[in-house]
Structure 1
Amino acid sequence: MINTWIVATIVAIAAGIVGFFVIVRGAAFAAHSLPMGAFSGAAASALLGINQLYGLVVFSGLGILGISQLGKKSRHEVATALSLVALLSTGTLFLSMTHQYSQSVYALLFGEILGINNGQRVPVIIVGALSIAMVIIFFRPLLLNSISPELGEIRGVSSRRMELCFLTALALTTVMALPVVGALLVFSLMIAPPAIARSLTDRPGKAVLYSIGIALITVWASIAIAYVTNWPIGFFVGAFGAVFYGSGRCFSLARAHF
């Protein structure tokens, strides 16, 4: 349980920060595609008999390269879709070549944070620290590029570099969030809390803090209930996200009306 709380807290903080830029940049499709593409890395790791984290990192990197390079010659969502298809087809091949993946596949699909051990904790902390540090260092240029790429270019902020920086932070967050909520719902943790935060305030700093707070409440409550019910934690993360988002929208509408 100590490992569970530590990992979940780090994941929530990273997801809250990176998720803010997912919402501002309108990159929800990329936030959904990268986890599914990185999932293929778990299949490769199972085939090779190595730590799943290595496979997740490699395939997340391939997803970044695919989206970044294909995005130069086609629309961003098309590049994202093509990268996702390529990674998933490769993952299907790897899965067909091994018969020892059922438990690990289930864990990465639906989340298995109660199974985090000491050996997995340290890599997650390192990856999480890198993701958070990257966003904090490039926060201002990332924000400027997300709101107005043209103005950013005028002020010397390269759109290509900021896109690569954002995708890298998103991939790192994806890698460490997969064991928590699973590939099918990892994007909900990076979309629901920041979307709720954006409906509560227009200030970027406050929105990030609100996003982190909501993400922490979501994962902590989900862990407690999942521990009691023995249900997948991903279900509760998604359910809390939907409830909180609906409540936030109602609050915003009520505030605007009155």
Structure 2
Amino acid sequence: MFSSYLLHTWIAATLLAIAAGSLGYFVVLRRSAFAAHALPLAAFPGGALATLLGFAPLWGLAGFALLGVAFLRFFTRLGRRDVAIGLLLSSFLALGGLFLSLGREYAARVYGLLFGEVLGISAASLLPLGLLSLTVVLLLLWRFPDLLLQSSQSELAMARAISPVRMEWFFLILLALVSAAAVPVVGTLLVFTLLVSPAAAAQRLSAHPYRAWLLAILLAELLSWSSIALSYWSNWPLSFFVGTQGALLFLLSRILTRT
């Protein structure tokens, strides 16, 4: 389980869990789970295009995730947010399908982008992954009080001249960066689990904002580590353990806090 070929996997999962757990707290607090599902899928065509053109997938993922933020904000101004997210999902998935169809390894690429390639993480990919994760955490710590206030007490935040529009841009950009970092590891479809499940469980277990935030990071780490270990021992897909354990984690938190 701690063999040299898995070392990059452990490092990548640890970095990703810190970033996803940190931001996941605000995903749940702001009730933005639908956006947390949409932006990783918006990154999907970026990874496909990067593979088609022969450059590092991470930069394509990040570029299209940020493009998805702009798309989401533009169409939200024209109508309802849920409609904007639906348009984002349908159009970017169609674009990703086009890019994948132009390549030669269609099936392998689809599987890798949707479910991750946790055993295919190279040493070269750890540096940009670490930089993205560090950037997300530092930016989040920089604006943590303002984002917390705007997410939980929007009227008080407006009274203190904290712009809800700027905070929404800030939050979505961080979510795009986490999505880009997570897709190569756990895949497009499971970023949602890593962002939402640990944070939702943490908020059930603690009402104190900072304790719940730290607990969300810890639970994200435990979810990532245990999924890797179980995948290694059983030879079953990592995606299966991330998804099922994420659901069980939230269920356990409900049981423990039942009144």
TM over 0.5: yes
- The structure 1 residue matched to 2:163, chosen from 146, 158, 164, is 158
Cα distance in structure 2, aligned partners of 1:16 and 1:138: 16
Contact 1:46 1:101 in 2 (8 A): no
Which runs of structure 1 show a deviation greater than 6 angstroms over 4 or more consecutive aligned residues? none
Contact 1:197 1:208 in 2 (8 A): yes
- The structure 2 residue matched to 1:40, chosen from 42, 45, 52, is 45
Deviation at 1:210, TM superposition (A): 0.9
Identical-residue share of aligned pairs (%): 43
Select between 73-82 and 137-146 the one with higher mean Cα deviation. Answer: 73-82
Specify every segment of 5 or more residues in structure 1 that has no aligned partner in the other structure, as ranges: none
2:3 corresponding residue in structure 1: none
1:161-195 CA-to-partner distances (Å, cap 9, x unmatched) read 10011001111111111122211111001000000
Deviation at 1:148, TM superposition (A): 2.4
- The structure 1 residue matched to 2:239, chosen from 225, 234, 237, is 234
1:202-256 CA-to-partner distances (Å, cap 9, x unmatched) read 1110101111111111100111111222222111111111111111101110xx3
1:76 corresponding residue in structure 2: 81
Whether 2:24 is the aligned partner of 1:24: answer no
Let me know the Cα RMSD of the aligned residues.
1.2
Contact 1:197 1:207 in 2 (8 A): yes
2:204 corresponding residue in structure 1: 199
Cα distance in structure 2, aligned partners of 1:191 and 1:58: 23
Whether 2:81 is the aligned partner of 1:103: answer no
Select between 14-23 and 151-160 the one with higher mean Cα deviation. Answer: 151-160
2:132 corresponding residue in structure 1: 127
How many pairs does the alignment contain? 254
Select between 191-200 and 63-72 the one with higher mean Cα deviation. Answer: 63-72
Deviation at 1:54, TM superposition (A): 1.4
Specify every segment of 5 or more residues in structure 2 that has no aligned partner in the other structure, as ranges: 1-5
Cα distance in structure 1, aligned partners of 2:214 and 2:51: 38
